[in-house]
């Protein structure tokens, strides 16, 4: 019960006592003293409450959180932390499109023995070329372009061992490169060659990075 309600109840009780005592037989001094005391108590209770007197407020107090505290900085529990985890999490497809198969074949034949970062870098070069006006606009056209990839003979791409783990990884990396799901240190590269060769065109390019057995250029 609030303080204001308690005060009203006390005033009502004092008023009842006042009228009861005023009508009761007894010494006039006792009755008068009691009435005066009751009147004084009533006057005291009826005094206004000062403005700074604390009051109970029966309502919920909501303090807004700082903006920084409302923003979650936690990484989702199912988010891949490494490229290897992302490769493992990529769903397998029953059949690839012709274009995606060409991209996976380029990764498989050029870099299947390299770390995943090196395989992704090769895939990024094929994707970048398909997006560039200087090369064919599809993956198969890029891969079979004359004198570009050493594993291609007469415009023909050999068949990979599709039952191998290397092919499954190449397919997963191709999807990652195609969808740009993972940043590669050679993301803007258009050329690459093996570290054990020194082609004449390399002198005219700007080296982007060296990953495993390949050097990549812009």
144: left (phi over 0), alpha (psi -120 to 50) or beta: alpha
Among 44-58, 84-98, 116-130, 187-201, the least confident range: 44-58
Cα distance between residue 77 and residue 79, in whole Å: 6
Do residues 160 and 102 touch, judged by C-beta distance below 8 A? no
CB contact at 8 A, 190 and 218: yes
Phi, psi of 170 (to 5 degrees): -60, -40
- Helix 165-179 × helix 116-131 angle, to 10°: 50
56 CB-contact burial (10 Å; exposed 0-12 / middle 13-18 / buried 19+): exposed
Average pLDDT, the chain: 76
**pLDDT in the model for residue 204:** 80
- The first and second tokens of residue 36, run together, are 């005066």
pLDDT value at 129 more than 90 = yes
Q: Is the CB of residue 218 less than 8 Å from the CB of residue 124?
A: no
pTM (predicted TM-score): 0.64
What are the residue boundaries of the structural domains of the chain, listed by start?
A: 3-49, 83-217
Whether the predicted pLDDT of 43 surpasses 50? no
Could you tell me if residue 155 is left (phi over 0), alpha (psi between -120 and 50 degrees) or otherwise beta?
Answer: left
Was domain 83-217 assigned CATH 1.10.10.2520? yes
Burial class (CB in 10 A: 0-12, 13-18, 19+), 99: middle
**In the structure encoding, which two tokens stand for residue 101, read together?**
């198969």
Per-residue pLDDT tens over the stretch 134-172: 999 999 999 999 999 999 999 999 999 999 999 999 999
- Where helices occur in the chain by DSSP H, the ranges are 3-22, 28-45, 67-70, 83-89, 98-111, 116-131, 139-143, 165-179
């Amino acid at each position: 019960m609030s303080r204001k309600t308690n005060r009203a109840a006390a005033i009502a009780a004092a008023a009842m006592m006042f009228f009861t005592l005023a009508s009761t037989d007894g010494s006039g001094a006792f009755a008068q003293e009691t009435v005066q005391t009751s009147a004084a108590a009533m006057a005291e209770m009826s005094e206004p409450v000062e403005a700074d007197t604390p009051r109970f407020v029966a309502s919920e107090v909501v303090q807004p959180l700082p903006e920084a505290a409302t923003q979650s900085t936690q990484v989702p529990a199912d988010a891949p932390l490494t490229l290897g985890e992302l490769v493992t999490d990529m769903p397998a497809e029953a059949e690839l499109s012709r274009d995606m198969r060409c991209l996976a074949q380029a990764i498989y034949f050029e870099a299947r023995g390299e770390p995943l970062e090196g395989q992704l870098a090769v895939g990024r070069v094929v994707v970048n070329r398909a997006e560039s006006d200087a090369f064919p606009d599809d993956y198969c056209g890029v891969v079979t372009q004359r004198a570009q990839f050493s594993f291609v003979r007469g415009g023909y791409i050999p068949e990979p061992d599709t039952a191998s783990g290397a092919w499954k990884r190449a397919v997963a990396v191709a999807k990652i490169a195609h969808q740009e799901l993972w940043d590669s240190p050679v993301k803007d590269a258009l050329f690459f060659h093996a570290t054990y060769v020194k082609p004449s065109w390399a002198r005219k390019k700007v080296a982007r990075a060296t990953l495993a057995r390949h050097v990549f250029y812009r």
